[in-house]
């Protein structure tokens, strides 16, 4: 059975959550682990939307926090599939902190995660190929392919 390619934009999701005191440390900065949890959830949802299967996280590339996220910020996570293998899917998740009063937005970080789609039996299943319709999407897909090649090369060592 051959799966039909799906466009990148079909997987796109956005999650927004107001940061509360329970998400932060004593300085009023949101814990990085909380942001990582939200990134993982956003990534998984985009991959489930693409594959139409449950997914599990298998890798998260480096995550560098460029700016702090504070209590009262609206955290906006935009996720979109950037690469597909036979059963694996890479997703890009961009994290933005927004002051809901002023509307000022700060891009705090971008993360790349890899998931594997699972069938009802819990075993990996094939995923639809990814289709890039615009030059910018083709460039993102090529960069994702190169990241996946680096991951696989590291795995062999």
At 88-98, the pLDDT tens digits run 999 999 999 99
Label residue 131 exposed, middle or buried (CB < 10 Å: 0-12, 13-18, 19+): middle
Query: Taking the CB of residue 52, how many other CB atoms lie within 10 A of it?
Result: 12
Domains of the chain: 6-156 (3.10.129.10)
Q: What is the CA radius of gyration of the chain?
A: 16
Q: What is the pLDDT of residue 62?
A: 82
- Average pLDDT value for residue range 82-87: 96
pLDDT tens, position by position, 33-76: 999 999 999 999 999 999 999 999 999 988 889 999 999 999 99
Provide the token pair at 88: 């694996």
Average pLDDT, the chain: 95
Q: What is the pLDDT of residue 20?
A: 96
Residue 154 has pLDDT above 90, yes or no: no
């Amino acid at each position: 059975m051959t799966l039909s390619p799906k466009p990148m934009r079909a997987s796109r999701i956005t999650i927004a959550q107001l940061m509360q005191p329970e998400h932060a440390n004593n300085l009023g900065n949101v814990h990085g682990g909380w942001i990582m949890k939200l990134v993982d959830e956003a990534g998984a949802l985009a991959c489930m939307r693409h594959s139409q299967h449950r997914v599990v996280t298998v890798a998260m590339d480096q995550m560098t926090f460029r700016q702090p996220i504070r209590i009262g910020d609206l955290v906006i996570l935009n996720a979109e599939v950037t690469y597909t293998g036979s059963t694996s899917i890479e997703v890009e998740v961009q994290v933005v902190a927004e002051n809901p009063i002023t509307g000022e937005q700060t891009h705090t970080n971008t993360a790349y995660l890899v998931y594997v789609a699972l069938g009802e039996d819990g075993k990996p299943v094939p995923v639809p190929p990814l289709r890039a319709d615009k030059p910018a999407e083709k460039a993102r897909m090529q960069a994702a392919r190169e990241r996946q090649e680096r991951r696989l090369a590291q795995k062999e060592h």
